[in-house]
Amino acid sequence: MMNGMPLSGVRNVFKIGVTMPEKPKLAVYWGASCGGCEIAVVNLHEKLLDVDAAMDFMFCPCLLDTKKKDIEALPDRAIAVTLFNGALRTGENVEMARLLRRKSRLLVAFGSCAKGGCIPALANFTTKDDLLNTVYLDNPSVDNPARIIPSGTTSFPEGEIHLTPLLERVKHLAQEVEVDYYIPGCPPESHQIWNVVEAVLSGDLPPKGSTIGCGTLTVCDDCDRVKEEKRITAFRRNYEFYPDRTACLLEQGLLCMGIATRNGCGAPCTKANMPCTGCYGVPEGIQDQGAKMVAALGSVMDIGDTTGLSEGEIAGRVDDFLATIPDYAGLFYKYTLASSTLGGRVMR
């Protein structure tokens, strides 16, 4: 693919790529991530050939065989764009983030892990020790009589193995290195990746620090369901009923995060009759997606007529209502805990 011939007819778009003797270098790297972002890149399908025609796709451990030492060997700022996905969970993640920052002209936090910590950052609700205990010792399916928790350097007859240390807390990319742009999504939608590639190649980029490859509104704008005034009497979960296909899912009692989530995805989840889980993160101008969601829901939860009720009775109604929300943190901060005001569990 690296040497693949560009398709005819699309060359006009990539004049730079064609006329310059050396194509700009493109790197895609993963930190603590699931690989979904790479799949989103591969989901460009035949457009990947256009990418390859325009750029030198030279580093991607998931897809290509380039090694870390190859990157180290490059001059600083040799890579035009690095799309860095995944959160920073380990020392190795941080080391690679710093290396790629040094070698790249544009470092892009690619996907919700790099942008806001995403699922890996939910570990910030516990301590590193608790995490390791759960994984290696207390898990019912683990058989570890020697109570070994892998860490540090281990010697074998063949030599030593060095395990990278876990950070105390999961970080998002910008908490360790300077980030030029952010692309949201878990993973980013392929058509938006393509939009970003085009923008990078044309040089038509917004001010540094912007979030790109997305819209400027919320998912509600992408979602064509019928919205009405919202008064929610209780939350329900997907398994409990078949939602109406045309009415707003939130109004039907599903905890749809679309209201407090940046748009640009095209609302594929609500189109599939599933509530938005918020993967495109905070909308423009919002600091904290979870807090915003709580504020918004708090404003429309309907606990009924409270006239004549005592304070205790009203509090009881609120508690009953809130009991219909299964997991506040995992729900409201699934994609943004590391970048939220809260950040995680407050350690004392």
Partner 1 sequence: MKIGVYFCNCGSNIAEKISSAAVAEAASFFPDSPYVTIVDFICSEEGKLQFEDSLKAEQPDRVVVAACSPRDHEATFRSCLTNAGMNPYLMQVVNIREQIAWVTEHPGVATEKAIAAIRGAVCRVRLQQPLEKKQLEVCPDALVIGAGPAGMKAALSLAEAGRSVVLVERTPFIGGLPVRFEDLFPAMECAPCMLEPLMGDLLHGEHPGKIELMTMAELVEVTGFYGNFIAKIRRKPRHVSLHECIGCGECVEACPATTMNEFNSSASGRKAIDFAFTGVLPNAPFLMEEVCVRAQGVECRACKDACPMGEDVVDLDEESTVVERTIGSIILATGAGLYDASRVAGLGMGVLPDVYDAMQFERMLSSTGPTGGEIVTAAGAVPSSVAIIHCVGSLDEDHNPYCSGICCRYAFKFNHLVTAKLPGASITHYHRELVVPGKEAHMLLRHAAGNSSTTLKRYAAISDLAVTRDDSGTLHVCSRGEVTPVDMVVLCPAVIPAEGTDRLSALLDVSCDSFGFFRELHGRTDAAQSTLKGIYLAGACQEPMDIRSAMLEGMATAGHTLAGLQPGRTIEIEPIAAEVDENGCAGCRLCLSVCPYHAISFNSEQNISHVNAVLCHGCGTCVTACPAGAITGHGFTNEQIMAEIEGVLQ
Note the residues at the interface with partner 1 (CB under 8 A): 216-221, 227-231, 248, 250, 258-260, 263, 283-287, 292-293, 295-296, 298-300, 307-308
Minimum CB distance to partner 1, residue 64 (Å)? 39
Minimum CB distance to partner 1, residue 286 (Å)? 4
Pick 246 or 299: Cβ nearer partner 1: 299
Pick 5 or 346: Cβ nearer partner 1: 346
Measure the CA–CA gap between 322 and 261, rounded to whole angstroms. 21
Pick 141 or 299: Cβ nearer partner 1: 299
**What is the DSSP track for 113-153?**
HHHH-HHHHGGGGS-HHHHHHIIIII-TT---TT-----SE
DSSP state of 336: T
Measure the CA–CA gap between 69 and 22, rounded to whole angstroms. 21
Minimum CB distance to partner 1, residue 112 (Å)? 18
**Considering only CA atoms, which of 25, 153, 150 is closest in space to residue 83?**
25
Cis amide linkage into residue 6, ω under 30° from 0: no
Question: How far are the Cα atoms of 37, 76, 168, 215 from residue 211, in angstroms, in the given order?
Answer: 17, 25, 27, 9
Minimum CB distance to partner 1, residue 206 (Å)? 15
Pick 80 or 303: Cβ nearer partner 1: 303
Question: How far are the Cα atoms of 89, 91, 281, 324 from residue 114, in angstroms, in the given order?
Answer: 11, 15, 12, 31
Pick 263 or 336: Cβ nearer partner 1: 263
Pick 161 or 300: Cβ nearer partner 1: 300
Strand-strand pairing, 181-183 and 104-110: parallel
Minimum CB distance to partner 1, residue 252 (Å)? 14
Minimum CB distance to partner 1, residue 223 (Å)? 9
